[in-house]
Amino acid sequence: MFCTNCGANIVVKTANYCSNCGKELEEQLHPSSYKKKKILVYLTPCLSVLLVSSGLFLTHTYESKVNAKVLNFQEKAENAALSGEYNKALSLINTGLSYRSDYSVLKKEKEIVESVIDLNQDLNDVEQKILNEQFEDAQKELNTIKRQVDTTTSPLFVKLTYEIDQVETSVKVGAMKEEINQLTTIDELAAKLSTLYSLEVQEASEIKQQIYKKMVSISASEAESYLEQKHFNKAINSVEDALQYVVNNEKLLSLKDRINGEKTAFEVAEQERINKAIQVAKKEEQMNLTKAVELVETKVNVDKYGDAYIKGSVKNNGTQSVHSIVIEFRVLSEKGSVLEEGKTNVFPNKLQPGQAGEFEHISYSTKEKVMVEVTNISWLLEEKKG
């Protein structure tokens, strides 16, 4: 056997090294064993690198999934807060923090949402003061809330800022409405209309509607009073005074039609009395006179300013057309005390047999649930022709 390194003859077959060059002979005598050892020398560090890399990859993958979950909860929480669902937003933030308790951005958003929830409760207290007509106190509390909100630029306050603006409008409208409730004539209300130029568009619009409603209420009340005294022209003038401002108001137009109808009926009745030509009513006519109009329903809704909006309907169950239908009513508290007595007309003014009509009224500053009791319904029959 010869040394593959120097070519020297190897005399001792069991030698491990070449006697001439000193090269290890096992590598030459047993090349496959040597190769295995050589492979292990390189493979061991590679396997170590692979195991470490796999561990790092799995750890990175897990952390990435956790981060994705947290970011998803954060996004949902922000959307909920922007929609005004603050408690839902807080729940989502807490869930996100259960995965990443040290996520500073989410912790900051939690503080903001908790602050918004507290301010929203304060805003509810302001709205309760508006309902109780404590407008000065309501405005003071609202100013405090606004100062707190003005110190932040977080978009999570967007919904709350809009609600604050709405409540502030209600405070201003409520305060001016309290003034309006003290006015008793169309001219006084008309003068108040001229002061609205200094208000914001939304505020001015709400106040105008309140003034118009009060005009309709005053006009209708005056007209009813004149009608009781048979002063038909004065009653019409009262209606027309309001119609200058609330043009084409259905209730007033119906009332005007009713006044003209009653005026005509009164004149005809007077003429008939002069001529002593009144005929005994037939059974059918008696039924039409006494049972034709039936009360169908009444509804009451108290708004946020404490005013009771009363609506109802009647039906003509008779065989003749009826007109100038008058509803006499009482507004009662829950304990049964009388808060208001009044009259209102049904519209449309004329009801054909089987036709239904409606009536409405506003009872101001009731501040509580009320009941309506219809005490009497009166009407006129359509004059027969020929």
CB 109 within 8 A of CB 95: no
pLDDT at 22 over 70: no
pLDDT at 30 over 70: no
Residue type, 229: Q
| Bridge partners for 239 per DSSP | none
Phi then psi for residue 96, to 5 deg, are -60, -40
pLDDT at 314 over 90: yes
Phi then psi for residue 14, to 5 deg, are -95, 5
pLDDT digits (tens, 9 = 90+) for 354-374: 999 999 999 998 888 899 999
CB 142 within 8 A of CB 171: yes
CB 349 within 8 A of CB 323: yes
Residue 302 lies in a domain: yes
Top-confidence residue, 321 or 271? 321
Domain holding 324: CATH number?
2.60.40.10
pLDDT at 29 over 60: no
CB 362 within 8 A of CB 310: yes
pLDDT digits (tens, 9 = 90+) for 282-294: 678 778 888 999 9
Percent of the chain with pLDDT over 70: 81
Residue 347 lies in a domain: yes
Q: What's this model's pTM, rounded to 2 decimal places?
A: 0.43
Residue 251 lies in a domain: no
pLDDT at 34 over 70: no
Query: At which of 131, 161, 182 does a domain end?
Result: 182
CB 70 within 8 A of CB 96: yes
Residue 3 lies in a domain: no
Q: What is the mean pLDDT of residues 216-224?
A: 93
CA 223 – CA 243 distance, rounded (Å)? 13
Among 19-33, 183-197, 246-260, 321-335, name the one with the lowest average pLDDT: 19-33
Residue 269 lies in a domain: no
Residues 91, 92, 95, 99, CA torsion sign = negative
| Bridge partners for 374 per DSSP | 329
- Of 366, 344, 369, the C-alpha closest to 357 is 344
Total domains present in the chain: 2
CB 361 within 8 A of CB 347: no
Residue 293 lies in a domain: yes
Query: At which of 162, 182, 202 does a domain end?
Result: 182
CA dihedral 168, 174, 179, 184 (to 10 degrees): 150
Q: What is the mean pLDDT of residues 3-32?
A: 65
Residue 196 lies in a domain: no
pLDDT digits (tens, 9 = 90+) for 132-191: 878 888 888 888 888 888 777 777 777 888 888 888 888 877 877 888 888 889 999 988
Residue 47 lies in a domain: no
Mean pLDDT of the chain: 82
pLDDT band at 123 (very low <50, low <70, confident <90, very high): confident
pLDDT at 386: 45
pLDDT at 236 over 50: yes
Query: At which of 118, 147, 182 does a domain end?
Result: 182
Q: Which domain holds residue 285?
A: 279-381
- Of 151, 71, 140, 166, the C-alpha closest to 112 is 151
